[in-house]
Amino acid sequence: MKEKVVLAYSGGLDTTAIIPWLKETFDYEVVCCCIDCGQGSELDGLEERAKLSGASKLYIENIIDEFCDDYIVPCVQANAIYENKYLLGTSMARPGIAKKLVEIARKEGAVAICHGATGKGNDQIRFELGITALAPDIKIIAPWRMTDVWTMQSREDEIDYCKAHGIDLPFDMASSYSRDRNLWHISHEGLELEDPSKEPNYEHLLVLSVPPEKAPDEGEYVTMTFEKGVPKTLNGKAMKVSEIITQLNELGGKHGIGIIDIVENRVVGMKSRGVYETPGGTILMEAHQQLEELVLDRATYEVKKEMGNKLSQIVYEGKWFTPLREAVQAFIESTQEYVTGEVKFKLYKGNITKAGTTSPYSLYSESLASFTTGDLYDHHDADGFINLFGLPLKVRAMKMMEVKNNQK
């Protein structure tokens, strides 16, 4: 009986080419496993393609709700954004995928798990750290790093290899962006994006959205509610988080929300350029932020920003299954106890504009914030506060004057 390998299968060019390669190189029985994180129509025809490519079996595992509840929500609560722009769409999905790959490998009695991530990217790290943390005994195969036996060096090579093995693919040279899609976002790399001096070909590139200039000329109001930092309703209708994100994707895409062009610092040390579409995620992040502005006190908000940045780094680097992530997430969750309320905003040509936020736990006091004197605030109290708050500045200035005078 042949040994089995579980292949993380997307149906794309890389993983399709890997199926016959694994059989020829190692004589493995290849069990494909596609993890459905909300790829939509990309899963159509997957089973037929996997079988025609030589796989003995294909699992399609739906983890959409788990992805939303266990990975997206904690990152939204933390406002975890990598390098001020990237909303971690690919990064957040990888630990859930790794977890499911290990489950299928155990079920099938596989000796190895294979992934199609390149040797220059972040995903190889995310997949392998996740798999290692959950199943240190399972071998990991990364073809793109095995240059002695993996001779393909480009997407063109892979297309030729597949054709030589009688595998017909719905790809061609002109449209072969490297993409990753799930419910949260879609990323685009390759082609003209490899040159940062070139403008993205948005007409050819965008999948979820329209450019802001092609969005409707009329804005659209949206209302959301949260309970303890978790989204609960959209425009008055109670929904699961996955349903809310799905609806927000439609609304955001329609109005050109959440399109970013970023040159980011990869974990492996190089910079890479990509375009990300995150229409619903951008709206959800902004709505949650608007509510937190009302509810969190200054000191907690400051530390939470630091922890949010830390979580974004942890997730980006593939360190989800670590004590540090658990500790940071525990802190973030403690800050969400009173992040409950309603957020209203307007979507218009790529912009999200506040239209009113309310919470029973709001720390905003109109009587304190207004220019009229209220019972809780005496303007004269500011004299002593400023004197004490600025005392270090005053002492230093006096000392510098003293030194300067002594030098005359």
pLDDT in tens, 307-337: 999 999 999 999 999 999 999 999 999 999 9
Active site residue 94: yes
Task: Kindly report, as residue ranges, where domains of CATH 3.40.50.620 are found in the chain.
Answer: 4-63+92-176
Q: What is the pLDDT of residues 22-38, one digit of tens each?
A: 999 999 999 999 999 99
SS3 call for 262: strand
Q: Which of these is catalytic: 49, 94, 126, 181?
A: 94
User: H or E stretch including 233?
Assistant: strand 230-234
Q: What is the pLDDT of residue 256?
A: 98
Mean pLDDT of the chain: 94
Residue 389: CB partners within 8 Å, gap ≥ 6? none
Q: The tokens 């990364």 sit on which residue?
A: 142
Q: Give whole-number Cα distances, 110 to 4, 84, 223, 274, 376, in Å.
A: 5, 40, 48, 35, 68
What is the CATH code of the structural domain delimited by 185-296+339-358?
3.90.1260.10
Where would I find the H helices in 82-219? 89-108, 123-134, 155-164, 202-205
Q: What is the pLDDT of residue 42?
A: 84
Q: Which of these is catalytic: 10, 14, 126, 273?
A: 14
Q: What is the pLDDT of residue 171?
A: 64
Q: Which of these is catalytic: 178, 187, 209, 312?
A: 178
The residues facing 8 across adjacent strands are 33
Active site residue 178: yes
Q: Which residues of the chain have pLDDT under 70?
A: 170-176, 370-374
Q: Which of these is catalytic: 49, 53, 123, 181?
A: 123
Pick the CATH number of 4-63+92-176 from 3.40.50.620, 3.30.40.230, 3.55.40.10, 1.50.10.10: 3.40.50.620
Residue 257: φ, ψ to 5°: -90, 140
Q: Give whole-number Cα distances, 74 to 27, 28, 234, 331, in Å.
A: 42, 38, 19, 11
Q: What is the pLDDT of residue 128?
A: 98
User: H or E stretch including 215?
Assistant: none
Q: What is the pLDDT of residue 156?
A: 85
Q: Any idea what the Cα angle at residue 284 is, between residues 283 and 286, rounded to 5°?
A: 65
Task: Kindly report, as residue ranges, where domains of CATH 3.90.1260.10 are found in the chain.
Answer: 185-296+339-358
Percent of residues in the chain assigned helix, strand, coil, to nearest 5: 45, 20, 35
Q: What is the pLDDT of residue 168?
A: 76
